[in-house]
């Protein structure tokens, strides 16, 4: 997924790309337009749902798995 198509802030794009390259996160765009980010570390996994707007991201939900 090319995150830059949906987010315009260079700092956010760089942070997301870094997380994806390290294998710490995966991203998916849902049918309703929300961005789903799955974040993993050694002990936990977390799902974060964002609303993508012209001005950036708004966190809609955060669930630790």
Biggest CA–CA distance in the chain, Å, is: 34
pTM higher than 0.75: no
Domain count, the chain: 1
How many residues appear in the chain? 65
Per-residue pLDDT of the chain (65 residues; tens, 9 = 90+): 666 776 777 887 788 788 888 888 888 888 888 888 888 877 888 998 888 777 677 888 888 87
What is the model's pLDDT at position 16? 79
Distance from C-alpha of 51 to C-alpha of 18, rounded to nearest angstrom: 20
* DSSP symbols for 41-53: -SS-EEEEEEEEE
What is the model's pLDDT at position 28? 84
């Amino acid at each position: 997924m090319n995150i830059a198509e949906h987010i315009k802030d260079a700092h956010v794009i760089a942070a997301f790309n870094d997380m994806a390259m390290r294998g710490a996160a995966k991203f998916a765009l849902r049918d309703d337009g929300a961005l789903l980010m799955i974040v993993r570390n050694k002990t936990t996994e977390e799902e974060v749902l964002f609303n993508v707007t012209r001005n950036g991201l708004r966190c809609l939900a955060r669930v630790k798995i």
